[in-house]
Amino acid sequence: MTTLIFGAGGHALEVLQIAVRAGVVSLDSRSTSFVVAEKGADRRSALPFPSLIEDELASLDPREPVTAIVAVGSSGVRARIVQKLDAAGLVVTYPSLIDPSAVVPTELRERAPAGLVVFPLAFVSERVVFGVHCHVNVASSISHEARLDDFVTVAPRTTVCGRAVIGAASFLGASSTIIDDVHVAAGTVIGAGAVVVRTIDEPGTYVGVPARRT
CATH number at residue 9: 3.40.50.20
β-bridge pairing 2-6 and 92-93? unpaired
Asked if 123 and 38 sit in the same domain, the reply is no
Asked if 142 and 199 sit in the same domain, the reply is yes
Residues 36, 38, 44, 50: what is their CA dihedral angle, to the nearest 10 degrees? 60
Q: What is the pTM of this model?
A: 0.94
Asked if 87 and 170 sit in the same domain, the reply is no
Q: Give the pLDDT score at 59.
A: 80
Q: Give the pLDDT score at 39.
A: 58
Half-sphere exposure of 97 (CA within 13 A, CB side): 30
Which residues, given as ranges, of the chain have pLDDT below 50? none
Write the CATH number for 176: 2.160.10.10
Domain count, the chain: 2
Residues 126, 129, 135, 137: what is their CA dihedral angle, to the nearest 10 degrees? -20
Q: Give the pLDDT score at 176.
A: 98
Query: Which residue range forms the structural domain that includes residue 15?
Result: 2-93
- Which has the closest alpha carbon to 211: 146, 193, 85, 203? 193
Q: Give the pLDDT score at 9.
A: 86
Q: How far is CA 167 from CA 43, 140, 151, 203, in A?
A: 33, 18, 9, 9
β-bridge pairing 92-93 and 97-98? unpaired
DSSP bridge pairs for 33: 4
Q: Give the pLDDT score at 191.
A: 98
